[in-house]
Amino acid sequence: MIKVGIVGGTGYTGVELLRLLAPHPEVQLTAITSRKEDGLPVADMFPSLRGHVDLAFSSPDKADLTECDVVFFATPHGVAMAQAPELLAAGVKVIDLAADFRLKDQATFEKWYKIPHTAPQLLEEAAYGLPELNREEIQKARLIANPGCYPTTMQLGFYPLLKAGIVDAGNLIADCKSGVSGAGRKAEIGTLFSESSDNFKAYGVHGHRHTPETAAQLQRFTEQQVGLLFTPHLVPMIRGMHATLYARLNQDISNEALQALFEAQYRDAEFVDVMPFGAHPETRSTRGSNMLRIALHRPDNGNTVVILVVQDNLVKGASGQAVQCMNLMFGFPESTGLKQIALLP
Amino acid sequence: MIKVGIVGGTGYTGVELLRLLAPHPEVQLTAITSRKEDGLPVADMFPSLRGHVDLAFSSPDKADLTECDVVFFATPHGVAMAQAPELLAAGVKVIDLAADFRLKDQATFEKWYKIPHTAPQLLEEAAYGLPELNREEIQKARLIANPGCYPTTMQLGFYPLLKAGIVDAGNLIADCKSGVSGAGRKAEIGTLFSESSDNFKAYGVHGHRHTPETAAQLQRFTEQQVGLLFTPHLVPMIRGMHATLYARLNQDISNEALQALFEAQYRDAEFVDVMPFGAHPETRSTRGSNMLRIALHRPDNGNTVVILVVQDNLVKGASGQAVQCMNLMFGFPESTGLKQIALLP
Amino acid sequence: MIKVGIVGGTGYTGVELLRLLAPHPEVQLTAITSRKEDGLPVADMFPSLRGHVDLAFSSPDKADLTECDVVFFATPHGVAMAQAPELLAAGVKVIDLAADFRLKDQATFEKWYKIPHTAPQLLEEAAYGLPELNREEIQKARLIANPGCYPTTMQLGFYPLLKAGIVDAGNLIADCKSGVSGAGRKAEIGTLFSESSDNFKAYGVHGHRHTPETAAQLQRFTEQQVGLLFTPHLVPMIRGMHATLYARLNQDISNEALQALFEAQYRDAEFVDVMPFGAHPETRSTRGSNMLRIALHRPDNGNTVVILVVQDNLVKGASGQAVQCMNLMFGFPESTGLKQIALLP
Amino acid sequence: MIKVGIVGGTGYTGVELLRLLAPHPEVQLTAITSRKEDGLPVADMFPSLRGHVDLAFSSPDKADLTECDVVFFATPHGVAMAQAPELLAAGVKVIDLAADFRLKDQATFEKWYKIPHTAPQLLEEAAYGLPELNREEIQKARLIANPGCYPTTMQLGFYPLLKAGIVDAGNLIADCKSGVSGAGRKAEIGTLFSESSDNFKAYGVHGHRHTPETAAQLQRFTEQQVGLLFTPHLVPMIRGMHATLYARLNQDISNEALQALFEAQYRDAEFVDVMPFGAHPETRSTRGSNMLRIALHRPDNGNTVVILVVQDNLVKGASGQAVQCMNLMFGFPESTGLKQIALLP
């Protein structure tokens, strides 16, 4: 049993961590902090947790997080970088679900996130928390930068093609669609039910923070010069993410060989499901589960490969992946506490 | 052509007024005020109005509303009472979509709305804007208190039974359900898509402001001592309101006679559709239209009548009804500009 | 480990049984029948089960259900009554999720379900599968009639008041709302997305099969003469059920005493959560879980008690309750395999 | 006033035609046929039409469509081709909302629609009903092939770039998203609320009938050799279509010049709204209206142009466009009866 703390338990990734960690057989939930909700029982804010979580939120000042074995940051960008150095110094491992340690390059971080980085000395050390591409680093890490939800789908979808060097790496297109929970639990007009229900739109087409993260990591993992055009859209559903990825083949290859490439790559990945060639994965097939599903297409047998990727943005796209990293960091079997079957319908 | 002003055009009843008034053949939109959005073209905030509304929001200070023939207040409670006296003095008619003049009794208002009433001298004069029950007063009025959305359904549903004196007026139950747009266009967590989609709940069961409004008006219109238990619920849909009303018969009466009672009552009401006995009206049959539909039921031929009432909460429940009142006040045919057919599907 | 068979695995209660039984530590899934889908891997129809369920559907002729310890019928009404006698004779326990054995009275069954009952000799023996009110019978039963979804909420909500004899049992009103999955996985126009999304309506107000079931069982459990008016409505959400129950007190009682009554009744019920007096339970707080939540209200401190009840119609309202019964029948701890936390958001 | 008939009034394009034509000042609705619903008042099937449409469905045998000036076919593929020759011979104009006359090439039609074409002699004559690109032909036509919903967005989005010859015509990508009503009003499991709500998926990625239609028409209109990769997706909303189009520039051009190109092209198009460069159009800004909105993007100022296009699939994507064609065919102002403002929220 390890002692686990959560900083920022009032958002969607926070409550999702609680759903996954409360029944986790190796975890003892020790502290959940919220400055604003100090003293409020967690289950009063999230009645789904009644009977499962007895903790109350505590003010960051009062909670002694240094007693924990690991602390998750389910906070806005900028919080983890402020507190991680002290925790690490006290021997506590840190998993940041925000962006503070996702970009190795400080200048790029500051350009896209528009805040100064206060712990640049940790950028190099932080392990990028995408187990399927970076398992060994994660196992040895003290500090994890949990990937963004979109980057998870884009990287796992493009990786086998880039690694094999069979597509034009400089001209990737990722047309991605996210459920509304990706915007977080913040009081904003744009994500009100009456604004986002029965509606569909693109956003941030001019440029999104997940583009440099995805491009840089893919480059690091595949040693290819990546050019990526990423277009995010908002879907009127709570959870779910669908990536439609387009890559141009630079050589002749059969559909069978393409399929074999993906199956080989993810043979041992418990949470990546390579579906039959030509399948149409649905986001709901991952609702509440840590699975990510991939299917390949080759329209008109042309030279463009279309890769469809789905996941639950709050699980494999955030809190589930963070728990998967935790399992690796502490030597638990990778899928411990993560075997929930998707809720369908 | 009359000159029309709107105070508070940035909420849902505001944009709905614009949708109805922009093509209204007797109306010239003259001013739309918003302190916060001064100078912003209205169509920049609501792209649905591009090509239909050329006005920009103007600060209340700059807009000369006294040039208007009528001013609508699509504002929070408390704004109309502050500005109405001056406008009325300048010969401008006023239609308030909020609650400032709905309750004749100042103490009751202040109890439920928790703000002092600053224009109590107008309470008696204000005409309650429910044309089907109060047409003559409205035609002569300078100042209209537009009914709440729930009260419209409850009053039109219960009225014929109470007027005929055939039900136990002291034990009415109204189990009502509203789409989320009824909560307005405010940045709040509770009405986020991720909070209210795929969910259903009751709220305010202990007591809701629309209970005293409904009871008092029904009492005034029917001269019966009304006891009303009202339970509001939130439905994951944008527009639409459904009232399920329960009344106990105090005498023997056939279903045919019940049905005849309602048909006679609303024979000349263009916007009240009495459906066949036993029908199940759907809210979507009124989406975007000013129609309110009613159907009667008598489960197991017992002594309880169930009245089902549907409307679009933003049209007959708010802005459409306000335009209907305007038409009456200026002698236009009652349905001018209000003949939109509901959007189905 | 017991061997479990499912007859009719292609509907929503079928796939929900699979979600709950596949990871159940005491269960070995042995056979899933479907005449139409013989040979199709279950996970091809429900991709959420990929990696969790390896079985294929088999034709009823081929599947030897008599090898099972228990067989669930997730079928339309009429199927279980045809097959149960043979299975019981072979020593197999039977849990019917349909209505075949819910009504003790054959004539009432045939009146409401419009099919002849082919196994009336089993009506008396069948245990009504509502553990909170009928645990002992269930533990000893060979044949379970799993309750309807609406009846579960109505019975657990009204029971403590009726048992205590403090309300007018002859005048109960149940205004209930269900998610669309309650209509099942059948190709029908009325439950298409484009018909039932962004819409709300009542249905079957003239009379619904769940009324006699609820009234008869409540009468049996409480020995009161029950008069029930039940109005079902359709909510544009996938899962979830909300009952708003109205009962008239026939004596003076404090709110504290009311609350104490419910808390005492359900103190040992793991799956009934009595929330604080005046709470507003949301259906989503039970999404995917076997919890049913209850909250009491007393509007205006009058003599009507309003009881709010929520559950997931596919879990506590169907498949979860069936598994709960199975646990009791085989002596497993009642909550085995049923501890899933609701998915929120 | 012209006499108008509708063949197949029970689907979504049928009821949408009725919504638009009932209040059309130049139209007298004369006959609505349905073999199955003969005698049923139209408003009994679609209560939204109560008070607006008095007609009943009539069997095709009884309805004398040759008395009409124009007949709309809101039918499955194959019906219009069977009846059009006789109607045209009788001097009746025909507007087909299905695909019978969209493809000039009989073999291509038969390959994609898998039925023999029974009126190939009309293929050449039929005018493609996309007014913005084909107004003159439509004005003179007896027979209109109303475009598919997806092709309308793709053609109007790509056209100015192709016409100007500034993009690589052989490598167009169209990632399109449609509301569920596009699947029609058919009893099917895949479009049930419980299957398509809170879900997102691609479909038909291997090949869709709208690809050859779009490519062929764009080729005809622009005289460029078009290569198009089209990926359709299903969005959990009733109405609305969003196209995200990707085209590679083959020359240097400023964003201002790109924007000017589109504004010049659609200056006189009442129903095409070119939004400011960099805008993100939302589908709801067209809900219920005949507007199509376009916005241009140039991510990272690279050499790919992203064109965002939105419309209501049932209005500009189907019935509204058909009425627009009718207006042109009979010399009415193009926007007659089509000035509805979108319903927002």
Same domain, C294 and C172: yes
User: Which residue on chain D is closest to A198 by alpha carbon?
Assistant: D237
* Beta bridge partner(s), residue A167: A249
Which distant-in-sequence residues (6+ apart) come within 8 Å of B169 by Cβ?
A: B162, B222, B224, B225, B226, B227
Considering its fold, how many domains does chain B have in total? 2
Report the alpha-carbon distance of residue D181 to residue D311 in Å, rounded: 13
Same domain, B168 and B60: no
**Residue in B185, B191, B194 nearest the CB of A238:** B194
Could you tell me if residue D264 is inside a domain? Answer: yes
Query: How remote is the C-alpha of B235 from its chain's centroid?
Result: 18
Task: Report whether A40 contacts A57 (CB < 8 A).
Answer: yes
Q: Is the dihedral of CA B39, B43, B45, B46 positive or negative?
A: positive
E runs forming strands in chain C: 2-7, 27-33, 57-58, 70-73, 93-96, 127-128, 143-145, 172-179, 201-202, 228-235, 241-248, 272-274, 292-297, 304-311
Asked if B48's CB is within 8 angstroms of D342's CB, the reply is: yes
Residue located via tokens 């009794």: B105
Could you tell me if residue D342 is inside a domain? Answer: no
Q: Checking phi first, is residue D279 left (phi over 0); if not, alpha (psi -120 to 50) or beta?
A: beta
- Cα A275 to Cα A143, A287, B80, C47, distances in angstroms: 33, 17, 61, 9
Q: What is the pLDDT along chain D (345 residues), one digit of tens a residue?
A: 999 999 998 999 999 999 999 999 999 999 999 989 999 999 999 999 999 999 999 998 887 899 999 999 999 999 999 999 999 999 999 999 999 999 999 999 999 999 999 999 999 999 999 999 999 999 999 999 999 999 999 999 999 999 999 999 999 999 999 999 999 999 999 999 999 999 999 999 988 999 999 999 999 999 999 999 999 999 999 999 999 999 999 999 999 999 999 999 999 999 999 999 999 999 999 999 999 999 999 999 999 999 999 999 999 999 999 999 999 999 999 999 999 999 999
Tokens of A336: 């411990």
CB contacts, 8 Å: A241 with chain B: none
Asked if D229's CB is within 8 angstroms of A205's CB, the reply is: no
Report the alpha-carbon distance of residue A276 to residue A274 in Å, rounded: 7
Same domain, D58 and D205: no
Residue type present at position B62:
K
E runs forming strands in B146-196: 172-179
Could you tell me if residue A273 is inside a domain? Answer: yes
State whether residue B335 sits within 8 Å of chain D by CB: no
Could you tell me if residue C137 is inside a domain? Answer: no
Asked if C242's CB is within 8 angstroms of B306's CB, the reply is: no
Which distant-in-sequence residues (6+ apart) come within 8 Å of C78 by Cβ?
A: C98, C100, C113, C115, C118
- Cα C320 to Cα B27, C6, C130, C147, C286, distances in angstroms: 59, 14, 11, 11, 12
Is the pLDDT at A9 greater than 90? The verdict is no
Question: Which of C150, C173, C199 should be substituted to probe chain B, the one whose Cβ sees the most B Cβ atoms within 10 Å?
Answer: C199
CATH number of the domain to which A302 belongs: 3.30.360.10
Report the alpha-carbon distance of residue B4 to residue B32 in Å, rounded: 9
CATH number of the domain to which D118 belongs: 3.40.50.720
Q: Could you say which of A76, A93, A125 is where a domain stops?
A: A125
Tokens of A14: 């926070």
CB contacts, 8 Å: D287 with chain B: 48, 343
Same domain, B248 and B182: yes
DSSP-derived 3-state class of residue C87: helix
**Residue in B49, B291, B342 nearest the CB of D341:** B49
Tokens of A212: 């440099």
Q: What is the pLDDT along chain B (345 residues), one digit of tens a residue?
A: 999 999 998 999 999 999 999 999 999 999 999 989 999 999 999 999 999 999 999 998 887 899 999 999 999 999 999 999 999 999 999 999 999 999 999 999 999 999 999 999 999 999 999 999 999 999 999 999 999 999 999 999 999 999 999 999 999 999 999 999 999 999 999 999 999 999 999 999 998 999 999 999 999 999 999 999 999 999 999 999 999 999 999 999 999 999 999 999 999 999 999 999 999 999 999 999 999 999 999 999 999 999 999 999 999 999 999 999 999 999 999 999 999 999 999
Report the alpha-carbon distance of residue A310 to residue A313 in Å, rounded: 9
Task: Report whether A44 contacts A81 (CB < 8 A).
Answer: no
Same domain, C83 and C193: no
pLDDT at residue D62, as a whole number: 81
- Known catalytic residues of D? 149
Report the alpha-carbon distance of residue A294 to residue A263 in Å, rounded: 10
Q: How, if at all, do strands A201-202 and A272-274 pair? A: unpaired
Same domain, A90 and A198: no
Asked if C180's CB is within 8 angstroms of D238's CB, the reply is: no
Residue located via tokens 């060639």: A277
A 10 A CB-CB count for C108 gives: 15
Residue type present at position C16:
E
Q: Could you say which of B93, B125, B157 is where a domain stops?
A: B125
Same domain, B155 and B301: yes
CB contacts, 8 Å: D230 with chain A: 299
Estimate the crossing angle of helix A149-163 against helix A210-222, to 10 degrees: 30
State the DSSP string of B230-285: EEEEEESSSS-EEEEEEEEBSS---HHHHHHHHHHHTTT-TTEEEPPTT---BGGG
Report the alpha-carbon distance of residue A172 to residue A174 in Å, rounded: 7
E runs forming strands in chain D: 2-7, 27-33, 57-58, 70-73, 93-96, 127-128, 143-145, 172-179, 201-202, 228-235, 241-248, 272-274, 292-297, 304-311
Which distant-in-sequence residues (6+ apart) come within 8 Å of D232 by Cβ?
A: D150, D176, D177, D178, D202, D203, D204, D205, D208, D210
Domain range for C71: 2-125
pLDDT at residue C131, as a whole number: 98
Could you tell me if residue A171 is inside a domain? Answer: yes
Q: Could you say which of C74, C91, C125 is where a domain stops?
A: C125
State whether residue D308 sits within 8 Å of chain A by CB: yes
Same domain, C165 and C116: no
CB contacts, 8 Å: B334 with chain D: none
- Chains contacting D with at least 3 CB pairs below 8 Å? A, B, C
User: Which residue on chain C is closest to D314 by alpha carbon?
Assistant: C194
The distance of D248 to chain B (nearest Cα, Å) reads 29
Query: How remote is the C-alpha of C90 from its chain's centroid?
Result: 26
Query: How remote is the C-alpha of C81 from its chain's centroid?
Result: 18
pLDDT in tens, B73-122: 999 999 999 999 999 999 999 999 999 999 999 999 999 999 999 999 99
Q: Answer whether 0.90 is exceeded by the pTM.
A: yes
Task: Report whether C8 contacts C46 (CB < 8 A).
Answer: no
State whether residue B300 sits within 8 Å of chain C by CB: yes
A190 phi and psi, to 5 degrees? -60, -25
State whether residue C239 sits within 8 Å of chain A by CB: yes
Q: Measuring CA to CA, which residue among C288, C272, C229, C14 is closest to residue C132?
A: C272
State whether residue A183 sits within 8 Å of chain C by CB: no
CB contacts, 8 Å: A192 with chain B: 180, 185, 187-188, 191-193
Task: Report whether A21 contacts A29 (CB < 8 A).
Answer: yes
Is the pLDDT at A83 greater than 90? The verdict is yes
Long-range contacts of D56-59 (CB under 8 A, 24+ apart): D56/D32, D57/D9, D57/D10, D57/D32, D57/D33, D58/D31, D58/D32, D58/D33, D58/D34, D59/D33, D59/D34, D59/D35
pLDDT averaged over chain B?
A: 97
Is the pLDDT at A148 greater than 90? The verdict is yes
Question: Which of C171, C197, C201 should be substituted to probe chain B, the one whose Cβ sees the most B Cβ atoms within 10 Å?
Answer: C201
A 10 A CB-CB count for A153 gives: 32
Pick the residue with more confidence: A335 or C36? A335
State whether residue D110 sits within 8 Å of chain A by CB: no
A 10 A CB-CB count for A45 gives: 16
Per-residue pLDDT band at A63 (split at 50, 70, 90): confident
The distance of A3 to chain D (nearest Cα, Å) reads 35
State the DSSP string of A153-213: HHHHHHHHHHHTT-B-GGGEEEEEEEEGGGG-S---GGGBHHHHTT--EE--TT--THHHH
Asked if A192's CB is within 8 angstroms of B180's CB, the reply is: yes
Report the alpha-carbon distance of residue A189 to residue A185 in Å, rounded: 12
Q: Is the ipTM of this complex over 0.95?
A: yes
Helix boundaries (H) for C123-254: 131-140, 149-164, 193-196, 210-222
Tokens of C345: 């958001």
Same domain, D304 and D190: yes
User: Which residue on chain D is closest to C188 by alpha carbon?
Assistant: D187
Same domain, D118 and D171: no
CB contacts, 8 Å: B288 with chain D: 288, 343
A 10 A CB-CB count for C267 gives: 9
Tokens of B174: 């109204």
Could you tell me if residue A340 is inside a domain? Answer: no
* Beta bridge partner(s), residue A57: A32
State whether residue C195 sits within 8 Å of chain A by CB: no
pLDDT at residue C60, as a whole number: 84
Could you tell me if residue B71 is inside a domain? Answer: yes
Residue located via tokens 């064109």: D307
Same domain, C116 and C160: no
Report the alpha-carbon distance of residue D253 to residue D302 in Å, rounded: 11
Report the alpha-carbon distance of residue C145 to residue D260 in Å, rounded: 70
**Residue in B186, B194, B196 nearest the CB of A12:** B194
Could you tell me if residue B51 is inside a domain? Answer: yes
Quick one: which H or E segment has residue D155? helix D149-163
Same domain, B60 and B199: no
Strand order in the sheet with D27-33: D57-58, D27-33, D2-7, D70-73, D93-96, D143-145, D127-128
Q: Find the largest Cα–Cα distance for chain B.
A: 63
State the DSSP string of A70-111: EEEE-S-TTHHHHHHHHHHHTT-EEEE-SSTTT-S-HHHHHH
A 10 A CB-CB count for C105 gives: 13
